[in-house]
Amino acid sequence: MPCAGVLALLAGCSGPSAQRPQHAIVDVTAVHTINPGSVPGLTAVTRSEQDDRRRLFAGYPSIAGAEPLTDALAKAVDAQIRPFKADTRERSTLPGGNVPELNVQWSLAAASGDIVGVRLLSDRFLGVSGGLSRQTIWYDGAARAVRPSATLVDGRSGLARLTEAVRARLGTETNPSQVRADPNTFTSIVFNEQGDMVVEFSDYSVAPGAAGRIAAALPHDTYGPLLSEFGRRAHDAAVATPPKLALRSSAATTAPSAPSTRPPAPPRTDCTKAKCIALTFEDGPGPYTARLLDILAARKARATFFVVGANADADPELLRREAAEGHEIGNHTQSHRDLSRLPAMKVNSDIQRTDEIVRAATGKAPTLLRPPYGAGNATVAEVARSLGMPQILWNVDTRDWHDHDARVIADRAVSKARPGAIILLHDVRRSSVEAVPRILQRLQDEGYTFVTVSDLLAGRRIAPGSTVRS
């Protein structure tokens, strides 16, 4: 009997592997991924919104030398965002007080030689889960061309034979007739650690949503004869050890994220004596974070950066620079999901993964948590308490995600500023970073000192898990 797909075509369930001793169950459909921090010229791009109508967080990588890929990824993400925003144009009350949410995550399926593969996972929630959609977009640096997953196999005949092989692998939880020899069916073709081809499907596309992720792993003797010339190169790039990307223009277009000589960190401030205020930036690091650090250094201002683990993993050098220049790094979770909709185990793992990334980069794990969208509940509070982390929100919202005018953002921050305030900004937005010089100058002229959140709260007894707004 053929094995079910992810649920998952586990090792030992079919073919030659059925004869192997079973010491452990291994999901052979698990996708091999590349550490984004090892890829030169990679920057995480983020789009986010938050209000009472919807919550949106979407990311994708921008890689120097692969500009057509960056453009294609932006279009793929926009294809998820546009219908979601159309469906949430009006405020609606969902069961349990939930707010509609769209979350788009990315990972690297390959990044070696002149080949890049980027896997996008999109999760849409409108009262009930719309399931995960999966898409892997490939880039051929030799041709400077973006290629969909179906081009990994050779033409129509290769696609037809791949369809037959996948149908044979999928079990009764799926509807094999839905697996058609159509490029639109095969939106995500990747590889696992062993070099097997992994064909995965979006939820509801070939099975009911309750079946979970559906994927099939094909050994090389099955898929090898089906590969196109590009598919063979993509396979080699995916399994390269160690992976080393060498796009022709990457060296010329990559800029360092930190200056060669860092300015000294400004001295700590006693906020019982000074007029203190805290700038906080979330969702980064991103393309504008290095420029922001230059601005803060020039005005001898400290800030707190609540980083998203997926973005931090892409540029650990920026984290090191933030720490070296006296700024505080807080935890904004790994995937920027609305934690109030997640079980405790997922909340815990989303927080701890970011802790691990920050600790690996800087030697110190965050002590402060900012839940995405400021959304929490008793479960989030209990997990934060168990990890010894207070939840840091804000009492000045610049609404910088909504406005693209730096002057408007600065005016809003300055007009609402008070001693002890915590100001919300996003370092993944150009207009937000452009507003910072105005904010710093105007408030410093009023006698404010810009400090980290921990400096602002020094001397206060803050219980782990509790919520702090100012």
pLDDT band at 261 (very low <50, low <70, confident <90, very high): low
Reported as a single tens digit per residue, the pLDDT across 412-424 is 999 999 999 999 9
pLDDT at 127: 84
Q: Are residues 25 and 10 in contact, defined by beta-carbon separation less than 8 angstroms? A: yes
pLDDT at 96: 78
* Residue carrying the six token digits 């929630």: 125
pLDDT at 254: 42
State both tokens at 218: 């094909």
When the pLDDT of each residue in the chain is averaged and rounded to a whole number, the result is 90
Q: Where are the beta strands (DSSP E) in 257-325?
A: 275-282, 304-307
Reported as a single tens digit per residue, the pLDDT across 282-309 is 999 999 999 999 999 999 999 999 999 9
DSSP 11: T
Domains plus CATH for the chain? 15-239 (3.30.565.40), 275-468 (3.20.20.370)
- Those residues whose C-beta lies under 8 Å from the C-beta of residue 75, and which sit 6 or more positions away, are none
pTM for this entry: 0.90
Reported as a single tens digit per residue, the pLDDT across 386-416 is 999 999 999 999 999 888 899 999 999 999 9
pLDDT band at 262 (very low <50, low <70, confident <90, very high): low
- Those residues whose C-beta lies under 8 Å from the C-beta of residue 375, and which sit 6 or more positions away, are 55, 99, 338, 339, 340
* Residue carrying the six token digits 């809003």: 412
The half-sphere exposure of 92 on its side-chain side, counting CA atoms within 13 A, is 15
pLDDT at 6: 43
- Those residues whose C-beta lies under 8 Å from the C-beta of residue 225, and which sit 6 or more positions away, are none
Q: Are residues 391 and 347 in contact, defined by beta-carbon separation less than 8 angstroms? A: no
pLDDT band at 263 (very low <50, low <70, confident <90, very high): low
* Distance, CA of 137 to CA of 147 (rounded, Å): 6
pLDDT band at 4 (very low <50, low <70, confident <90, very high): very low
